[in-house]
Chain A
Amino acid sequence: MKLPPVDYEAPKTVPEAVELLGEHLDQASVLAGGQSLIPLLALRLAHPVVLIDINGVDGLSGVSATDGWVAIGAMTREYVAEESQTVADAVPLLAAALPMIGHEAIRSRGTIGGSLAHADPAAELPAVALALDAEFVVRSQSGERVIPAADWFEGYLTTSRLPDELLVEVRFPVARRGTGISFQEVARRHGDFAVVGLAASLTLSDGAISDARLAFSGVSDVPVRAVGVEDLLVGERPSADLFDEAARRATEDIDPPADLHGSSDYRKKVAAALVRRGLRAAADNAGERK
């Protein structure tokens, strides 16, 4: 369908943008890449009175590495992050997930901040951000606050961003030495939202797992960290038996929804298979990252 009539503002600076947000609050939707918001408008699932288009806002795009973190401006296009050597070197799990987002033409416009603020539980970036304990920097007229990923995702398409706050930056921790990663997903068609996805990261020290991070997409109304599996893995040496046990444990951590793409039981089986595959791949490439 055609989009409904809507007012439009195109601020040039972050202070202008947050002033507009402060004025319109939940009557406003922030328009970044538009790859989710414009369909929501077309399908009448979102009803903003005003769009605040941040595509022309200075200083919201770019990738920079500082002090153990890679900071990505909220308006950074997904293809820019995909082509970034900094992301490839320092946040390999993010680099692995980026090419799986939608299709090439979607990544031309879609943004890192937009996907994470939209918070679709089946999308790739929310699972990556949760697995890595990313940090979300939001700004309003009253200042800035930093929200850890564990507190960011509150429900289906819902985050802890307040109506007067603008997401300006997302920070990902730099992968430690000995870290291997894998992003796995099962989808009906390349580029479609996954039935289930898994972001996995393992850090090996002297042959044993010193840090394990797993987060699922598509198994709940938010991305889900597989805490039980992480606890099981830490301190152990990678092995097929260990990963089989991890796959079994993973299904205890989740209660996936059923829809026409798969039953809850099917999603649990897929999740278990992805844990096995993801851990094996992460353990294999942990040795390559010195």
Chain B
Amino acid sequence: MDITLRINGATCTGSPEARTTLADFLRDDLNLTGTHVGCEHGVCGACTVIVDGRAVRSCLMLAVQAAGSEVTTIEGLAPDGELGTLQQAMWDSHSFQCGFCTPGFVMQATAFLRAHPDAGERQVRAALSGNICRCTGYQSIIDGVLLAAERARQS
């Protein structure tokens, strides 16, 4: 099926099979390999991207369903190579180790902070509870998101 959609501000076209997930379309057809594929059935959160302003699992959405949508992937967060507030805060908090889960956490936290700029620790923990990290123990990730929220409020 021929589809046209906006990805990270640019218009993209493709012809995915019906069964192709948005995650595989991004990675295999558009070479946007920053979106990681972990469990491939909606449990791990590594493939989280933002579609029309909401965080979604790109392994649980067909590419053809994204036709006409505005998609933001991890590549869209620092297009000029400068880290954004959230990314810098997570860097400063040593939020990640191996990095496999990183794009999913960053996209989920990006969507969450846009909607809840004043969130506290409990809300952040609940919002990130659908993303799995096997390295950090999560505390440093929570710290990074809270630091980003604090810096955004101060600036």
Contact = CB atoms under 8 A, between A and B. Distances in A.
Bound together: yes
Interface of A: 1-8, 10, 31, 34-35, 38-39, 41-43, 51, 53, 55, 79, 102-106, 108-109, 189-191
A4 B17 CA distance: 11
Q: Interface residues of B: mostly helix, strand, loop or mixed?
A: mixed
B43 to A, nearest CB: 8
Interface stretch (B60-68, B83-91, B95-103, B143-151): B60-68
B41 A105 contact: no
B112 A42 contact: no
Contact of A104 (B20, B41, B62, B112): B112
Instruction: List 6 tightest A-B contacts by C-beta distance, closest first.
Output: A103-B130, A8-B18, A39-B41, A108-B54, A3-B19, A190-B129
Nearest to A189: B129
A6 B55 contact: no
B18 A105 contact: no
Nearest to A103: B130
A5 B112 contact: no
A285 to B, nearest CB: 21
A42 B56 contact: no
Given A34-B62, A42-B40, 18 more contacts: A2-B19, A3-B20, A6-B19, A8-B64, A31-B62, A38-B41, A38-B61, A38-B62, A39-B41, A53-B64, A103-B129, A105-B48, A105-B55, A108-B51, A109-B57, A109-B61, A190-B125, A190-B129
Contacts of B51: 108
Contacts of B56: 105, 108-109
A35 B129 contact: no
Contacts of B62: 8, 31, 34, 38, 53
B42 A38 contact: yes
A248 to B, nearest CB: 33
Contacts of A191: 126, 129-130
16 contacts: A3-B19, A34-B60, A34-B65, A35-B42, A35-B60, A38-B62, A39-B42, A43-B41, A51-B18, A104-B55, A104-B112, A106-B57, A106-B130, A109-B60, A189-B129, A190-B125
A55 B69 CA distance: 13
Contact of A5 (B19, B40, B127, B129): B19
Contact of B45 (A1, A35, A53, A105): A105
Contacts of A42: 40-41, 59
Interface string B111-155: 110000000000001110110000000000000000000000000
A83 to B, nearest CB: 10
Given A102-B130, A104-B108, A1 B18 contact: no
A61 to B, nearest CB: 14
A40 B55 CA distance: 21
B73 interface: no
B21 interface: yes
Most interface-central of A35, A38, A190 (chain B CB within 10 A): A38
A42 B42 CA distance: 10
A106 B54 CA distance: 10
Given A34-B62, A104-B130, A105-B130, A1 B40 contact: yes
Contact of B60 (A39, A53, A55): A39
A2 B62 CA distance: 11
Contacts of B17: 5
A10 B3 CA distance: 13
Contacts of B126: 190-191
Nearest to B127: A104
B64 A106 contact: no
Given A2-B24, A8-B1, A35-B60, A105 B19 contact: no
Contacts of B55: 104-105, 108
Contacts of A5: 17, 19
B54 to A, nearest CB: 4
